[in-house]
Amino acid sequence: MKLLVPVKRVVDYNVKVRVKADGSGVETAGVKMSMNPFDEIAVEEAVRLKEKGAATEIVAVSIGVQQCQETLRTALAMGADRAVLVLTEESPEPLAVAKLLRALVDREQPGMVIMGKQAIDDDMNATGQMLAGLLGWAQGTFASKVELSDGVATVTREVDGGLETVALTLPAIITADLRLNEPRYASLPNIMKARKKPLETIAPGDLGVDVTPRLTTLRVAEPPVRQSGVKVGSVAELVAKLRAEAKVI
Partner 1 sequence: MSAVSEREAMEFDVVVVGAGPAGLAAAIRLKQLAPDATVCVVEKGSEVGAHILSGAVIETRALDELIPDWRKRGAPLNTPATEDRMLFLTETRSYRVPMLGTVMPHMSNHGNYIVSLGEVCRWLGGQAEALGVEIYPGFAAAELLDEDGRIAGVATGDMGVTREGERGPNFAPGMELRATYTLFGEGCRGSLAKQLMARFDLRQGVDPQTYGLGIKELWEIPASKHRPGLVQHSFGWPLDRATYGGSWLYHFGENLVSYGFVVGLDYANTWLSPFDEMQRLKTHPSVRQHLEGGKRLSYGARALSEGGLQSVPRLSFPGGALLGDSAGFLNVPKIKGTHTAMKSGMLAAEAVADALANGRPAEPRSYTRRVRQSWLWTELRDVRNVRPSFAKFGTLGGALYSGFDAMVLRGRAPWTMRHRHADNEVLDSAAGSPPIAYPRPDNKLTFDRLSSVYLSNTNHEENQPVHLRLRDPQRWRSVNWDLYRSPESRYCPAAVYEAVDTEAGDANGPRLQINAQNCVHCKTCDIKDPTQNIDWATPEGGGGPNYPGGM
Give the binding site for partner 1 (CB under 8 A).
12, 14-16, 18, 21, 27, 29-32, 34, 182-185, 187-189, 191-192
User: What whole-number distance in Å separates Cα of residue 135 and Cα of residue 131?
Assistant: 6
- Residue among 105, 155, 158, 92 nearest 132 (CA): 105
User: What whole-number distance in Å separates Cα of residue 36 and Cα of residue 33?
Assistant: 9
Please, which residue, 15 or 126, has the CB nearer to partner 1?
Answer: 15
Burial class (CB in 10 A: 0-12, 13-18, 19+), 3: buried
Please, which residue, 30 or 162, has the CB nearer to partner 1?
Answer: 30
The rounded Cα 170 to chain-centroid distance in angstroms is 21
Please, which residue, 15 or 166, has the CB nearer to partner 1?
Answer: 15
- Asked if the peptide bond before residue 171 counts as cis, ω within 30 degrees of 0, the response is yes
Rounded to the nearest whole angstrom, what is the least distance from the CB of residue 226 to partner 1 in the complex? 11
Rounded to the nearest whole angstrom, what is the least distance from the CB of residue 5 to partner 1 in the complex? 19
Rounded to the nearest whole angstrom, what is the least distance from the CB of residue 142 to partner 1 in the complex? 23
Maximum CA extent, the chain: 71
Rounded to the nearest whole angstrom, what is the least distance from the CB of residue 220 to partner 1 in the complex? 16
Please, which residue, 30 or 233, has the CB nearer to partner 1?
Answer: 30
How many Cβ atoms sit within 10 Å of the Cβ of residue 60?
30
Rounded to the nearest whole angstrom, what is the least distance from the CB of residue 43 to partner 1 in the complex? 14
Please, which residue, 30 or 223, has the CB nearer to partner 1?
Answer: 30
User: What whole-number distance in Å separates Cα of residue 10 and Cα of residue 28?
Assistant: 9
Please, which residue, 18 or 243, has the CB nearer to partner 1?
Answer: 18
User: What whole-number distance in Å separates Cα of residue 84 and Cα of residue 198?
Assistant: 9
Rounded to the nearest whole angstrom, what is the least distance from the CB of residue 185 to partner 1 in the complex? 5
Please, which residue, 188 or 215, has the CB nearer to partner 1?
Answer: 188
User: What whole-number distance in Å separates Cα of residue 182 and Cα of residue 200?
Assistant: 28
Rounded to the nearest whole angstrom, what is the least distance from the CB of residue 14 to partner 1 in the complex? 5
- Residue among 85, 77, 79, 84 nearest 195 (CA): 77
